[in-house]
Each structure stands twice: as C-alpha cells, then as structure tokens.
Amino acid sequence: MRSSNRSGAIRQFLPISALLLGSAFLLFAGGINGLILPVRGNIEGFSSISLGLLGTGWALGYVAGCLLTPGLVARVGHIRAFGAFCAFAAVTILASAIVIEPWAWITLRGVCGFCFAGTAMVVESWLSEQTKPNQRGRVFGVYTMVNLGANTAGYMMLVLGDPAGFFFFALAAIFYCLALVPTALSSTTTPAPLVSVKLNLRDLWRNSPVAVFAVFWVGVSNAAFGTLAAVYAQKVGLVLSAVAFFTAIPILAGAIMQIPVGMLSDKMDRRRVLLGVASLALIADFAFIVIAPEGRTLNLILAALLGGSIYAMYPIIVAHANDHAAPGTAIQISGGLLLTYGIGSIVGPTVAGWAMETVGNRALFLTTALSHGVVILYTLWRISRKAAVPEREKSSFQPINVGRTSSLQTVEFSQNEPVEPPASDSLAAQSPEEAPDRTP
C-alpha cells in the first residue's frame, strides 16, 4: 500500500517537476539578488534612504507586473513571456554590477520586481492548469516549500564569498538564465489565461475595514524590514554569515508560525488572533529599540520573533476578509488585498530608509512599531463595535507565502476548489458583518 501511495505521489508531481525546478532556480537567484544589493550598497556607502528605495522600486515593479502581465502574456504567450522575464532579471543583476549607482540600482530593482511578478503568474497558472482541484492544496504546499527553501538557500550563499566582488552578481544571473530552461523544454499544455483583478478599494473597505486597514500597514512593516534588515545587521556589526541568518530566519519563522496561527484563527475571532500576533511583533519592535542588541545570538532570537509575527499576519487578514465575502468573490477579495499590501510595500522601505538615515539604525523598528501599533488600535476599536463571524460561517485558513513571491495567480492557485465568477460586481455580501458603521 505504501508503495502504491508513493508511486501515486510521484505520478502527481512528475508533470509539474519542470515548473517546480524552474521556480526553484528563479527563487534561488532572487534570494542572492535580494541580499547582495543592500549588503554591497552598504559597503559602497549608499545612504539608508537609497537602500530603502531599492525596496520601493521592487514593490512598484511588482505591483505593475501583477496588473500588466495578464495582457502581455495574452499577446505573446506564456513561454515567450516567461523567457523574457527571466532574461530581463538576469540583465538587471548584471547591470547592477556594472553601474554601481543608487539611481541605477533603484530603477533596475523595479524592472526585476516586474519580472518576478510575471514569472510567478506564469508558473502558477501552469501549475493550476496541471493540478486537479482536489489536489491544489497539496501542490500549493509543495510549491511554497520549494520556493521558501530556494529563496533561503540563495540568502545563505553570501557566506561563501566576498560581497565586494562580481561573483554573486554573476551567480544570480546564471540561475536566472537556468530558470527558463525547464519551462522552455516542458511538454505541458499551454495554461488558461492569467487571473486579472482590478483594485476596488471602496468594495474592499465595505467588505472588511479591518482587512484593508491592516493589510496596508502590514505591507509597510514587512517591506521595510525585508528590505533593510540586512542593512541594520551590517550597521550593528554582525559578520556576513550572521547577516545572512538575520534575513533568512524571520522568513522561516513566519512560515512555521502559520500552522498554529491558522489553527487558532479557525477556532476563534480572527481579529483577536491578529491582535495577538501584532502584539508579539510590537514586543519584538520595542526589544530592538530599547535593548539595542549588538551580539549575534540576541539579534537572531529577536529577528525570529519579529519574523514569526509579521509574516503570519497576512494570511489571517485574507482569511478574515473572505469570512465576510459574498460567494464566488474569493479571488477578487484576496487579489485586491494583495495589491493593497503592495501599495504599503511601496511606502514602507522609503519611510524606514529615511528614518534610519535621520535617526539611526534602530529607526527601522520605530517604523515597524508604528505600523503594528496602529493595527492593534484599529483592530481593538473594530472588535468593540462589531461581533465576530459565527464559526460555522467562517472560511478555512489557507497558508500564504506572501510578499516577494506572491501574485494574483498565487491567490487563484491557493484555492483548494475552483472559484466561480461572482454574480455581481460587488465584492461584499449584502449584509457583511464588517460593514462600516453608518452611525455618526
């Protein structure tokens, strides 16, 4: 029986192995790219504002990619578009090694963000097409683990050489190019058209004010920390290996935390779970500010606490919003929240970079503390005004690898069952529990 189950699993994943391999190469290169730029920029004497704008450029490009990729793929096809995205990503990292100027890196980082949105959408549409609806949860879990492992491995590569040289730029470019080979040689059928979602803040807000408000500030916090964590670690004197761990451990902790957080949020008011996780993040923020750790061990412990908290918040928010959504609008709701998160990601690194340049290294955590503080206050206020959704009416929690590897296609692919198109243009149910108060 075990042999039969094992062979069935192999048959299930064999048709998508090329897609998973291509995605692994891409995320491995992306991990190197995402860490070498702030590390090398700090060595070159770039200001914290300039290094923060690297994250802003990425977020701008990524949001633009989520919006424009479906039309581009419709014109040229999935394979050609994916090959072009990988090639341009390789060009951006090589050009960054040639033109070592902040303005050039910010622009190139935006192009790379656009490419990553495009490649994620193409790969995930392919995976969705090749996967039966009742197997999507399992396949999405494997896909997420492959991406997480590859991205983390990319971060850890920086312990193997000198970031002041050309080696890591070339290595990332090599794997960007390798990423297009499996899909170019794949014999899988051309997938269906990509998911395209328009951002309608008015309907999103009507559906769930807490979700819209919180997801923006979580975008601010996560993007600020994700972009400038390596810069902070360097400035407090951590060695390169510790810098790599400082950026990788929070992501791993966030992935692990989604399991208990998801189980808890399915059993109680998700807003209270969000409140608890945001409070843990705020404790970590203040620990960085007040204690001002300088050694490796304490910095890594606090980074794990912060990462475990901030990277677990987004899935709670999406699940909470879907609890209030009308049937058939899950993609519209989750896609709109992803774009709102992207807008916050544009703001966060810019503000945090300016704060670090003006106040000092710990100002990074002043920025994240502000974000988590306002989420806590607004969530408390909404809890006092509106009752929770009855447990029998709640949707199931879905772990989501949000941030630099999520797209509108991620939203569609993460659904365990195919989603029917909405019956109307409105995203919200007729009488959502989280409708904004109409009293003065």
Which residues have C-beta within 8 Å of that of residue 376, sequence separation ≥ 6?
275, 278, 279, 282
Kindly give the confidence (pLDDT) of every residue in the chain, 440 residues in length, as a single tens digit, with 9 standing for 90 and above. Answer: 455 455 544 555 555 778 888 889 999 999 999 999 999 999 999 999 999 999 999 999 988 988 888 888 888 888 888 899 999 999 999 999 999 999 999 999 999 999 998 888 888 777 777 777 666 666 777 777 888 889 889 999 988 888 988 999 999 999 999 998 887 776 666 666 666 666 677 878 887 889 899 999 999 999 999 999 999 999 999 999 999 999 999 988 988 888 888 888 878 888 899 999 999 999 999 999 999 898 899 999 999 999 999 988 888 888 888 777 666 666 677 778 888 888 999 999 999 999 999 999 999 999 999 999 999 999 999 888 876 665 555 555 565 665 555 555 665 655 554 444 444 444 444 434 444 443 33
Give CA–CA dist 220/340, Å, rounded. 10
Tell me, which fold does domain 17-413 have in CATH? Growth Hormone; Chain: A; (1.20.1250)
Predicted pLDDT of residue 397: 56
**Contact present, 272 and 320 (Cβ < 8 Å):** no
Q: Which two tokens stand for residue 403?
A: 């941030």
Domain ranges of the chain: 17-413
- Transcribe 43-66 into DSSP letters: HTT--HHHHHHHHHHHHHHHHHHH
Count of beta carbons in the 10 Å neighbourhood of residue 286: 15
Strand partners, 428: 325
With b meaning 16 or more CB within 10 Å and e meaning fewer, what string describes 183-217?
A: beebeeeebeebbbbebbeebbbbbbbbbbbbbbb
3-state SS assignment for residue 238: coil
Predicted pLDDT of residue 200: 73
Which residues have C-beta within 8 Å of that of residue 211, sequence separation ≥ 6?
204, 317, 318, 320, 321, 337, 434
- Closest-CA residue to 23 (of 318, 415, 413, 419): 413
What is the maximum span of the chain, computed from C-alpha positions, in angstroms?
66
Q: In a 10 Å sphere around its CB, with 0-12 CB exposed, 13-18 middle and 19+ buried, how is residue 412 labelled? A: buried
Give CA–CA dist 136/412, Å, rounded. 10
